Chain A
Amino acid sequence: MGVDAFVNWLRDAAGVLHENAAYLTELDSAIGDADHGANMDRGFQAIVAVLDGTSFESADELLKKAGMTLVSKVGGASGPLYGTFFLRFGTALAGVSSINAEAVGKALHAGVEGVLARGKAELGDKTMYDAWAPALEAYDAAVAGGSEVGPALTAAAEAAAKGRDATVPLVARKGRASYLGERSAGHQDPGATSTTLILESAARTLA
């Protein structure tokens, strides 16, 4: 898998996040501060602007730049979290000669470890980690069963969607939704939703 596949991923994710910006903001209005859609859209449009103006030699260079762009453009909690994800994801691919299912798995793990280090969330806190964690598990299981990148990412995206749906009844324990206490229950987590969109995009584009 070459750098073009990752360019396609980022462009596709930017398109999907743009289409879903109002939806993400609506979810964030219920338990946050009504800015998640606008912030993700702004960050990924900035990545598209970088892609339009620069060509990248390697996937790691591309993804690190995408991460730094998110850190620089998004703000809020999602900027550092998604920025760190792509920075670590890219770093894990540095020097990898053949980007296969195993390499993508390592990169996914590295990215999610970065999210955890930055956000200190645990499973069930009603955060994006509730989508990332089952996605990693499903990805690993698929690869162990002999799947290539595409099908493994499809399994990961499906697991992320289940994790996202499972955030609905949870009481938030991290981020702005945690201020609501019990009142945060009954709402889907915006971060788990954007994570699922990004993984679904990966499943469509990385193969």
Chain B
Amino acid sequence: MKKLINDPGDVVSEALQGMAAAHPDRLRVDLENRIVYRKDAPRPGKVGLISGGGSGHEPMHGGFVGLGMLDAACAGEVFTSPVPDQMMAATKAVDAGAGVLHIVKNYTGDVMNFEMAAELAAADAGTEVQSVVTNDDVAVQDSLYTAGRRGVGVTVLLEKIVGAAAEEGQPLPQVADLARRVNDNGRSMGMALTSCTVPAAGKPTFDLADNEMEVGIGIHGEPGRQRLPLAPAREIAAMLVDPVVTDLPYQQGDSVIAFVNGMGGTPLIELYLMYNEVAQLLDRAGITVARSLVGNYITSLEMAGCSVTLLKVDDELVRLWDAPVNTPGLRWGA
């Protein structure tokens, strides 16, 4: 293992200290509870938006805290969901009377811990909490025989769009409905060229030969659905776009936000090359790209590879997407 770390056990807390040191203008970090707060939270009259999850997906979620996105993000250990105590503390801290929305990615651990937090919050009384679970990964069959589809790329788009709605002062039921609508209209699929190394484990989660790739991966270094021989980017783009397009399905005439995400270890030059392939495939299918996003936003440590997310949008979703955002990970218009 070759990493820029001091001690594998200190990676998460030292990275959070770094975020606090780098962004004192926008963030406040509760190091004990491992919660990244928007500096001016709670905002009176605004629905509080909280997300959280295992660390190792940076900039998600801490990097999406700030104006127009999240009010707080709870950081777990690497690839391990945070605990109910953190979510409880964050929920109380960002509630300004308008209630709180929990944005949860569909993983067994995340869902269980957020559920326990909601139960404890209900017992504690006071804060109105709603939850939305993202589950956009078409690589997983949503059936009785799996834990259901994973929440991946659409989580980033959802946090941006729903963050804009909350910033406008929309009430909790409306914000929660919007979140579900975004999730329902988003689909993703990812692939890996390499595995990644969890610092505490010290070695790669799986082995992948130089001429192999994993298709249908999630964001935790877990192996995917299929191991295939490495192929040109054009073919890989089709392997990702086709199952996404046919799943919703996205149809001729639809407008989408097209998001090509890097898994952490792939340079932007390759991500733009992939975006070019994705855009051509969408063009051929008669799908209009209303907005695009290219870069490393929901990562899996140093894994090389990418994911493709499509979100079907209307004018309202595009308007919310364009609204000002000022976070360490996404910033425009502000």
Contact = CB atoms under 8 A, between A and B. Distances in A.
Answer yes or no: do A and B interact: yes
A76 B109 contact: yes
A77 B112 CA distance: 7
Contacts, number: 114
Given A72-B84, A75-B81, A179 B109 contact: no
A178 interface: yes
Given A174-B108, A179-B218, A183-B223, A35 B80 contact: yes
Interface string B128-172: 000000000001110011110010000000000000000000000
B147 A25 contact: no
B222 A75 contact: no
Q: Determine the main DSSP class of B at the interface with A.
A: loop
Given A73-B83, A75-B82, A75-B83, A25 B201 contact: yes
B22 interface: no
A159 interface: no
A75 B77 contact: yes
B225 interface: yes
Contacts of B116: 71, 80
A194 B24 CA distance: 42
B78 interface: yes
Contacts of B30: none
A72 B85 contact: yes
Interface string A11-30: 00000000000000100011
A71 B80 contact: no
Nearest to A73: B83
Contact of B222 (A33, A39, A71): A33
A34 interface: yes
Interface in A51-81: 71-81
B187 interface: no
Contact of A29 (B112, B115, B205, B225): B205
A185 interface: no
B62 interface: no
A180 interface: yes
Contacts of B107: 176
A25 B161 CA distance: 37
A54 B179 CA distance: 45
A118 interface: yes
Which 7 residue pairs across A and B have the least CB separation, nearest first? A76-B109, A33-B220, A77-B109, A80-B112, A178-B146, A38-B200, A75-B80
